[in-house]
Amino acid sequence: MKLAIADVLDRDNMSAAIDQVVTSVGDLHLTVLINNIGGINGFVKPQFKPFKNHTTQEIVATIDLNNSFSMQLTNTLFPVLKKNEPSLVINIGSMVANLKMPYLAVYSAANAANLAAEMRLENRKIEILCILVGNTSTPGRHTIRTSFTVPTARVMTAPALKRVGCSRDAEAGYFPRALQQASLALISGWLAAIFIGMEATKLRDTDPEAS
């Protein structure tokens, strides 16, 4: 096993961090890249808040952590993934990219990237699969209570990996959550927006970091 450790919020050293990863996998037959890095833990406070209350630093950090680093890393490793086709990129994203959830505008925007259509158009055998994660109990979010729709990361890993090869670009990766997303898609736009808005308001008002 090879490890490369870097703080990707250290903008001045992002290229060096990517070089470090590329060097460490240089002699391996790399066919799978999983971009899991992300979140807003620790640097967006409170996490749910109106767009106008985000500081410049929070906007830059959210985009760097959830998008810039993984896009640049994927781009740099692309020649290797292309040489080793068939290959796979799994982007661990968030369901808020599709839900249009209020009070998470920057995080939602940073999770909306997708390369799959381009790979298809270019006839590349590089599968790009985005897993649209919802509330999940993880080391970074260990305070979340698990339930039918809120699994632990360990519980949702196997079903998420089974979606590889499913020929869809983005997947919930966990049945109860797929059900939740399908139900929201079934009801009309304005009704779904009311439910999502109520949930976003609740999360904003119960955020322990909200003053």
Ligand X SMILES: NC(=O)c1ccc[n+]([C@@H]2O[C@H](COP(=O)([O-])OP(=O)(O)OC[C@H]3O[C@@H](n4cnc5c(N)ncnc54)[C@H](OP(=O)(O)O)[C@@H]3O)[C@@H](O)[C@H]2O)c1
- Residues found near ligand X in the complex (CB under 6 A): 7-9, 36-39, 41, 65-66, 92, 94, 133-136, 138-141, 153
Output the smallest distance, CB 20 to ligand X, in A: 12
Output the smallest distance, CB 122 to ligand X, in A: 26
Q: How far, CA to CA in Å, does 146 sit from each of 82, 138, 156, 181, 206?
A: 39, 10, 12, 18, 17
Output the smallest distance, CB 46 to ligand X, in A: 15
Helix 175-186 to helix 189-206 angle (10° resolution) is 130
CA dihedral 47, 50, 52, 58 (to 10 degrees): 10
Of 68 and 84, the one with the shorter C-beta distance to ligand X is 68
Could you give phi then psi for residue 29, rounded to 5 degrees?
-85, 80
Of 32 and 191, the one with the shorter C-beta distance to ligand X is 32
Of 42 and 86, the one with the shorter C-beta distance to ligand X is 42
Q: How far, CA to CA in Å, does 176 sit from each of 1, 65, 133, 166, 179?
A: 34, 28, 12, 18, 5
Q: Which residue, chain included where needed, has tokens 């439910």? A: 195
Of 136 and 181, the one with the shorter C-beta distance to ligand X is 136
Output the smallest distance, CB 85 to ligand X, in A: 25
The set of residues, in sequence order, having a beta carbon less than 8 Å from that of 150 and lying 6+ positions away, is 134, 135, 136, 137, 144
Output the smallest distance, CB 93 to ligand X, in A: 7
- 192 C-beta neighbours (distance < 10 Å), count: 16
Output the smallest distance, CB 196 to ligand X, in A: 14
- Indicate the residue whose CB is closest to ligand X: 140
Of 87 and 94, the one with the shorter C-beta distance to ligand X is 94
Of 47 and 190, the one with the shorter C-beta distance to ligand X is 47
As a whole number of angstroms, the distance between CA 60 and CA 205 comes to 24
